[in-house]
Amino acid sequence: MMFFRNITIGQYIYRDSIIHKLDPRVKIITVILIITTIFLVNSWTGFFIIGFYLFINISLAKVHPKFVLKGIKPLLFIISFTLLIHFFTTPGDIIYRIWILNITREGIHRGLFISVRLFYLILSTSWLTLTTSPIALTDGIEKLLSFLKIIRVPAHEIAMMMTIALRFIPTLMEETEKIIKAQIARGADFESGNLVKRIQNFLPIIIPLFINAFHRADDLAIAMEARCYRGGEGRTHYRQLSINSIDHVFIIITLFILIVSYLWVV
């Protein structure tokens, strides 16, 4: 039984595209701007403009749309659920009636708005993670957060935690698999019994996993200390981020489009 084969973290897909070459900070800020605008925009034309903009961005990234849609699939349920909730719970002009439930005009309007917002939210974050390697993402976040150091946001620590998590998730997954196999070999049963029983059956996996993880953390801390790690102060970076003219052009176009989509009320 193989549970986790060839795990790769994140969904980064390497392509030789303009979007991939953009500075991670620019992409992160772009996504933040898009998300903010999505929740401010209040017209269908506005949504249409943003949708068109996202479509262009994804096309420029040369990533097959199926990868983007893959990110949406698991959330389809949540989107339809919110849609329905809004349909039935918003007071207003009743236009249709099923049993005791009333569908209102306002409900349809709001429900659709929220769904489109969620849809765009997922599209834009997928666009970011598909085109930015986890390392670049971590570096970008660290650099962006470093402005917040003044208000004591531990930028370096957060980035280091992300790096270590990215490094160890595959290792811990492999280990989980080994433990599961070892327990199955000893006659453990993970497939039958009721819910409580099944949860109980997972204890013999979780406990060794935790003990080993603490052990690893101990070793890792010693190895880091031996390699002169003493926190973020005075630390340099192997990977240099640089903002080029293409980044400038991109962020200006983005700002322009987002402002237009917000102000456009027909």
Tokens of 40: 């401010």
Residue with tokens 């070892």: 182
Asked if 15 is part of the footprint of other proteins (rule: CB under 8 A), the reply reads no
Question: Residue 109 in contact with residue 141, Cβ under 8 Å?
Answer: no
CA 100/CA 109 separation, integer angstroms? 20
Asked if 238 is part of the footprint of other proteins (rule: CB under 8 A), the reply reads yes
* Candidate ranges 63-71, 100-108, 111-119, 163-171; the one touching other proteins (CB under 8 A): 163-171
Which residue of 150, 234, 245, 266 would you call a contact of other proteins, by CB under 8 A? 234
Give the nearest distance from C-beta 27 to other proteins in angstroms: 19
Residue with tokens 């897909």: 13
For other proteins, the binding residues in 17-56 under the rule CB under 8 A are none
* DSSP 8-class letter at 227: T
Give the nearest distance from C-beta 203 to other proteins in angstroms: 24
Asked if 229 is part of the footprint of other proteins (rule: CB under 8 A), the reply reads yes
For residues 196-209, one letter each, b for 16 or more C-beta atoms within 10 angstroms of the residue's C-beta and e for the rest, the string is eeeeebeebbeebb
For other proteins, the binding residues in 120-159 under the rule CB under 8 A are 134-135
Asked if 77 is part of the footprint of other proteins (rule: CB under 8 A), the reply reads no
* Nearer of residues 188 and 209 to other proteins, judged by Cβ: 209
Which residue of 239, 248, 249, 253 would you call a contact of other proteins, by CB under 8 A? 239
For the chain, the C-alpha Rg in angstroms (whole number) is 24
Nearest to residue 12, comparing CAs of 4, 3, 24? 24
Asked if 5 is part of the footprint of other proteins (rule: CB under 8 A), the reply reads no
3-state secondary structure of 14: coil
To the nearest 10 degrees (0 to 180), the angle between helices 195-226 and 155-185 is 130
* DSSP 8-class letter at 213: H
Give the H/E segment covering residue 196: helix 195-226
Which residue of 74, 194, 230, 245 would you call a contact of other proteins, by CB under 8 A? 230
Terminus-to-terminus CA distance in the chain, angstroms? 58
* Candidate ranges 27-35, 88-96, 97-105, 235-243; the one touching other proteins (CB under 8 A): 235-243
Q: How many residues bind other proteins (CB under 8 A)?
A: 30
Nearest to residue 255, comparing CAs of 11, 14, 34? 34
Give the nearest distance from C-beta 201 to other proteins in angstroms: 27
Asked if 237 is part of the footprint of other proteins (rule: CB under 8 A), the reply reads yes
For other proteins, the binding residues in 184-223 under the rule CB under 8 A are 215-216, 219-220, 222-223
Give me the residues that bind other proteins (CB under 8 A), please.
Answer: 8, 134-135, 163-164, 166-167, 170-171, 174, 215-216, 219-220, 222-230, 234-240
